[in-house]
Amino acid sequence: MTESETPGTPVTFPPGFLWGAATSAYQIEGAVREDGRTPSIWDTFSHTPGKTADGEHGDIAVDHYHRYRDDVALMAELGLGAYRFSVSWPRVQPTGRGPAVQRGLDFYRRLVDELLAHGIKPAVTLYHWDLPQELEDAGGWPERDTAYRFAEYAQIVGEALGDRVEHWMTLNEPWCSAFLGYASGVHAPGRTDPAASLKAAHHLNLAHGLGTTALRSVMPARNSVAVSLNSSVVRPFSPDPSDLAAVRKIDDLANGVFHGPMLHGAYPETLYAATELITDWSHVQDGDLAAIKQPLDALGLNYYTPALVSAADPHASGARADGHGSSSFSPWPGADDVAFHQTPGERTEMGWTVDPTGLHDLIMRYTREAPGLPLYITENGAAYDDKPDSDGRVHDPERIAYLHGHLSAVRRAISDGADVRGYYLWSLMDNFEWAYGYGKRFGAIHVDYATLARTPKSSAHWYARAARSGTLPPVNLAELPPLAATD
C-alpha cells in the first residue's frame, strides 16, 4: 500500500511540484472585436443557430481581457504557482497569415508581466481550438498549408514571449480539433467528413512538429516545449476477443494517431488497416513523420473519465455513449463496429464517471510509453451545478472530493515511479464551455454571468491550502474564511 492509499495518512507531494490552474482564450477573454481581433472558427460556430446551447457564445465570456489584473490577483491569493492559458491566434495574427498585430500581442505581454510580478509561472498553449476563420475558409486543418501557417504563428508568439515564458505547449487536445470538429461536427467548424478528420489529425501533428521547431529557433534553450493530449483510458466491456479488438481500434483513434507520430515517428499499422476504406493516407508525405517527431521536454496529459467499449451489437440502436456530445455523425472514423458503454459510478454534470484510477493508469501508461519524459497533468477537473448560498458563498464538496481523489491518484503514480512534475486544475473559473454554453461550471472560482463577479468556491480554498502546503487537506475540511469577490 502506498502513501496515498493508507487511510488517515496525509497525501504529501514532492518539493517543487507545480500547482496550477488552466483556462483557454475563447472561453474567458471576450473582447472578440477589440484591438484588431477577427473571427475564429468558434466565433462563427457559436453564432450559427443550433450549434451551442441557447445560442450562447464567447463574445463577452467572463471578460478576462479587461479583468486580467483582478484575475491574476485572485490566482495569487489562491497560492497558485502556475497559470496555463492559451493565446488567441486571431488576436495575434487575424488572418492566420502575415505579421502580428502588436495590440494583440501586447495583451499577452501585459498578462505575462502581471503573472511574473505575482510570482506565478506562465505556461502558454499556442492552440486551444480557435483557428482564424480565414484559414478555415481556405480549407482548415484538412489542408496541409494550415500546419505551415501554425509554424509561422508559433514563431511570432515565441519571439514575443519566449524571454519570459519558460513553459510552452503547441496544441491542446488535437483529438477534439480533428474529430469533434471535422468528423462528428459537435465542435467548430462543425464539419462531418471522416476523411477530412483524418487529414486534420495528420496536419495537426505536422503543425506540432513544425511549431516545436519554430519555437526552438527563437527561444532560449532553457524553455520547455510540450503538447497536451487528451489521451483516453480505453477499457474492454469484457475479456472477449471482439471487445479487446474494439479497445485496440479506439485506442488507435484516441491515442496512437497522435502519440504514435509524436513520440515514435509512426502511425499504428492497425490504424491504417481500420481506416483503409476512408482514406489511403496519401496526405502523409515523405519527411512528415520525421518533422513531427521532435524531441519533447515534457508531455501534458488531460484526463476526465475512462472509456468502456465493446464490439457493437448489429441489432442494437440508440445514442452513442462516448461522452462527446450528441451527433448522428461519429467522431470515430472506421469504428462503426464499436459500442461505447456508460461506466458505473458517480457522475459529474457532464455525465462523466468519476474514476481516479483512470488517471493513475494514464500516467503509468505514458511512463512506459515515453520513459524519461517528464509529465504534467495539464487538465483535470469536474463540472457541477454550483450555486451561491444565501450568504453568497459557493459550496462544492463534490469537486473537493473529485480533486482529492484525482490528486491522490497522481501521488500514487509518483510513488510508483512516474515523473509527474505538476498539476493544472481545470478550470480556474467558470466560463464558456464550448457547445454547452454557460450551463456547465468547471471553475474553482464561481462567475456570476450577469455581473461577472468572481467568488472562490470551497474547492478554491481547499486547493489553495494544498498548493501552499504541498499536502492534500481532508475532504471534509471546514470552510476557510472566504476571499472577497471581485466585481
Do 298 and 421 contact (CB within 8 A), yes or no?
yes
Say how many residues make up the chain. 487
Please tell me the distance from the alpha carbon of residue 79 to that of residue 72, in angstroms, as a whole number: 11
Residues 11, 12, 18: CA angle, nearest 5 degrees: 120
* 172 membership: H or E segment, kind and range: strand 167-172
Half-sphere exposure of 357 (CA within 13 A, CB side): 6
Residue 400 is classified by DSSP as H
Concatenating the DSSP letter of every residue in 235-296 gives: EESSS-HHHHHHHHHHHIIIIIHHHIIIIISS--HHHHHHTTTT---TTS-TTHHHHH-PPP
Q: How far is CA 470 from CA 17, 81, 82, 482, in A?
A: 8, 11, 14, 21
Residue 474's closest CA among 455, 461, 487? 461
Report DSSP state, residue 132.
Answer: B
3-state DSSP assignment of residue 67: helix
Let me know: does 61 contact 454? Beta carbons within 8 Å. no
Q: Which of 29, 56, 136, 173 is catalytic?
A: 173
Rg (CA), the chain: 21
Q: 3-state class of 1 per DSSP?
A: coil
Burial (CB count within 10 angstroms: exposed 0-12, middle 13-18, buried 19+), residue 389: exposed
426 vs 278: CA distance, rounded Å: 35
Cell numbers representing residue 485 in the block: 469577490
Q: At 100, list the grid cell.
A: 502580428
How far, in Å, are 12, 376, 468, 480 from residue 473 at the CA level?
10, 21, 11, 12
Q: Which three cell numbers stand for residue 31?
A: 473582447
What are the cell numbers at 473? 487537506
Distance, C-alpha 57 to centroid of its chain: 19
Distance, in Å, from the CA atom of 392 to the CA atom of 485, rounded to the nearest integer, reads 9
- Mark whether 379 is an active-site residue: yes
Catalytic residue among 29, 56, 143, 379: 379
C-alpha angle 400/406/408, rounded to 5°?
Answer: 100
Q: Which grid cell is 198?
A: 483524418
Write out the catalytic residue numbers: 173, 379
